[in-house]
Structure 1
Amino acid sequence: MRLRTGFLGGLVAALCLVAGTTEARLRVVATTADLGSLVRTVGGDRVDVLTLARPTEDSHFVDPRPSYLVRLSRADALVHGGAGLEAAWLTPLLQRAGNARILPAARGNVRCCEGVTLLEVPERLDRAQGDVHPAGNPHYLMDPENARVVVHHLADTFAELDPDGAEVYRRNAQAFLTELDRRLPGWLERLRPYAGTRLAAYHNSWPYFARRFGLRIDLFLEPKPGIPPSAAHLTRVIAEMKADRVRAILVEPYQDRRVAERVAAETGAKVVPVTQYPGGVKDTGDSYLELMDYLVRSVAEALAAGPEPTPQL
């Protein structure tokens, strides 16, 4: 009987230890799938992650669910872009969640743009220019060098929130950075033959990608950010695409592919399905590095097809 009692006592203690370990995991809410992927990469088994926006939806306009409030109210950390991409729907959720740990002034409110040089910061705000972000273009993770900044920031923040896991977070971050350093030269080499080549896109999501890989992505099917294409604007776009022999149009899952296909039919360009988020389109996997593999490969393949464009250096 003493043996059985001792066994049961040990079992209860072990179960309590496991329960305590599970409970001790950092509860993290990430706004978008790219950030969620980086959180999982850095946090590993020490974090419990919920991503709010689906990878196939426009992160500017997310329809909040009641479950989001529950998770935010219990979160130890909120990981968001910090450059206004999610502001329209995230700010009201934060106000209603009532969680001091993730309010803007708290350490658990993780603005991932810290340390990133944002592009296209407007000199003045003018709603006539469409959906312009006051802090600058928020799509900065399309440059893998900015992912480096974000991963360092996540590792430092998680180590502060969970000192016992500091070594794990920094080791995981370093593993990611090592793999990034291994892949980046290949990405650059794959797109180097197309330096200065002009591409079209539906929305202005790509200035960081263009700068890193030496491309021109400055012709948009939207006349202004968030404004639907008009017939007159598309006529001008088609004329420019023909003049510069533009042969690729980047289109994200939530954008109107039919419009892009009409423009492609007029110009001979190829519609390239792209996304900013792992899982947004087929073959992007569930990690940031797989996403970048897909983007570089898809753009390179599109530019390799058809007649040579006229590079604008």
Structure 2
Amino acid sequence: LHQRLKQLEQLLEDNHQMIGHLRDSVQALGGSGPGGTDSGGLYPWRLTNGTWVLPQMVAWAAQGPAGPAGPAEECREPRGDSPAKADVKMMDVYELLPFDNPDGGAWKQGFDITYEDAAWESTPLQIYVVPHSHNDPAGWIKTFEGYFVEQTKRILDNAMVKLAEDSRRRFIWAEVSYLAKWWEGADAAQRATAKRLIDGGQLEIVTGGWVMPDEANVHVWAMLDQMLEGHQWLERHLGVRPRSGWAIDPFGHSPTNAYLLRAAGIQNMLIQRTHYSVKKHLAHERSLEFHWRQSWGEWQPDAGVNLHHCHTMP
């Protein structure tokens, strides 16, 4: 109980400092801002036309549609043609595809894959096996606690044991909410093992979000919030930052999430559940691997903010 109280006190202190930084940032932006209504020191502000905006947008809105450029990394709606060029433009691809849904049963809308055995005699096929376990924090069938008690805790307990037995073994983990829950109940030996495995590269944390978020309906700030929550926990408890993204279960994939991952330092990413028609098209064109470049936002070829190496599972 004493340890849990100490943890709670530390979390309260961290939140206090974060709110202090937010308050200072808001004050530095000049009170309620031009053209806005004072919201009592809180944000966002409400403009005279009734629109709610973030603090840094107040000055831009006051100067009209052609207001000043924001920070270089600010994600802004492009005006005119983007200087970025692409070999495959998804908006054009969407116009080509019928988006039909042939009656092939669940998971069977792909196409048959056939090959000649002799084709691989001179050029061996290289296969990558990635041991992982996907855990649904949102409560798909069971509750968060139900999943953890009945499955997730056992998965992580056994992973630590089996990885420690053989240095050749590898395992990846994505959902930090479950990792944090496991960490709370782990003893000193289990925590030391986890840190050793992570430092040695046997256990890798991928994406590092609090959850593996939906990318179709979730707002950008919710995406960002859960990512910050997960990355801050990893930094505080394990001292690591993810370098690869892993999104195998979201129903569709958003350039917004790819943009946020790249801005967070994620260098590579893997996606899975694109539309069957899109995946067929990319497979036919041999474009399942690509550099993901958004059509919006500031294009920075040197910084590579919106350039992302992405692998699509076949």
TM-score of the two chains, using structure 1 as the length reference: 0.25
TM-score of the two chains, using structure 2 as the length reference: 0.25
The one of the two structures with greater contact order (alpha-carbon pairs below 8 A, sep at least 6) is: 1
Structure number with higher helix proportion: 1
